Amino acid sequence: MSGSSAVSIRNISKSFGRGASAVRVLDDVSVEIGEREFFTLLGPSGCGKTTLLRLIAGFELADRGVIAIGGQDLTQTPPFRRPVNTVFQSYALFPHLTVEQNVGFALEEQGMARDKIRSRVGEALEMVRMHSFARRRPSELSGGQQQRVALARALAPRPQVLLLDEPLSALDLKLRKEMQIELKQLQAEAGITFLFVTHDQEEALTLSDRVAVMQGGHILQMGPPREIYEAPTHRFVADFIGDINLLEAEALPGDQLRIGQGVTLPMAHGKAGAVTLAIRPERARLTAPGAGTLDATLIHSAYLGTALLHKLELPGGGTFLLRQSEVAQTPLESGSRVGLALPADALRVLDQ
């Protein structure tokens, strides 16, 4: 990833409607997306991620702020003059055209010479491994093949930035996972910036160089996938990305945290009063009763093939999920008393 910005979003705000009925969907959002970066906007429906993508594409205009692509202010520039292309959830292929005609359509509209169109179309189809399907029509293709054609069509004009609005959500699970790997390889081969929108946490973690987690028109946290997963800073981010245990605690002077029935942990926190601690299920460990941070009671264990998922009841109420990767051992019975070890380096103090 280059140090310069392919896309620069500065203080963007956007509302729909007017007066008292206006709904603000983006509120002073700023982000820099690097050249050749695979950048993902992740969040639930209604968080503003698709609206931000549409603003970058030029399909919507911002109320306030600046959108620059390749160092040029394009905030008011119409879509057809922006160096971007968009791949939508629906493939939007022309059913009466062949694969190669679909991929070359935009190039013909630009008035490109026929020999150059043939070369560009061939390159794009080779890139998505669809060259042998050039003469087929969309109705003769599977869903995954149609998605590859849509990608080829978007890549053929060689945009500076490719915008992808949940392009894999219509595929079945197995094909979606296969396409995730192919999409990451395609981005590396194309050598351009990909801006990806999804609500699927696993998809975001698998594909991205960086992830921006959005809620309520704001970016709550932004960083590499490992950082977002291992070190969430907000309660929403922790709860939205994968499984998480949230524990209520009290921040005490002297870098101490009190959890459970008077149990204290030495941990720097910089907080005061009530706080929330987060820990991933795979970071906690089972111990003998009395040998861990807390004692707990096993409610249920589920065999997941590569792991055991234990549901524990904590003292004073509340439940805790613990994922144990080593499954070749004597199973625990429901109702068993166990110890629960919470390593300090796996605990995170969250903002609300």
Last residue of a domain, one of 211, 235, 259: 235
State the residue range of the domain holding 204: 5-235
Say yes or no: 230 and 280 in one domain: no
Say yes or no: 54 and 139 in one domain: yes
Say yes or no: 224 and 248 in one domain: no
Q: pLDDT of the chain along its 352 residues, tens only? A: 445 799 999 999 999 998 888 999 999 999 999 999 999 999 999 999 999 999 999 999 999 999 999 999 999 999 999 999 999 888 889 999 999 999 999 899 888 999 999 999 999 999 888 999 999 999 999 888 998 899 999 999 999 999 999 988 877 888 888 888 888 989 998 899 999 999 999 999 999 999 999 999 999 999 999 999 999 999 999 999 989 999 888 888 877 888 866 788 777 666 777 888 899 999 999 999 989 888 999 999 998 888 899 999 998 788 999 998 877 666 788 999 999 999 988 988 887 6
Say yes or no: 170 and 253 in one domain: no
Say yes or no: 144 and 220 in one domain: yes
CATH number at residue 171: 3.40.50.300
Last residue of a domain, one of 204, 235, 266: 235
Say yes or no: 319 and 346 in one domain: yes
32, two tokens: 């820099």
- With b for 16 or more beta-carbon neighbours within 10 A and e for fewer, the 314-332 pattern comes to beeeeebbbbbeeeeeeee
Please give the Cα distance from 27 to 23 (Å, whole number). Answer: 11
Last residue of a domain, one of 187, 210, 235: 235
Helices (H) and strands (E) counted in the chain, each on its own, are: 8, 20
Angle between helices 143-155 and 99-109 (to 10 degrees): 20
pTM of this structure = 0.89
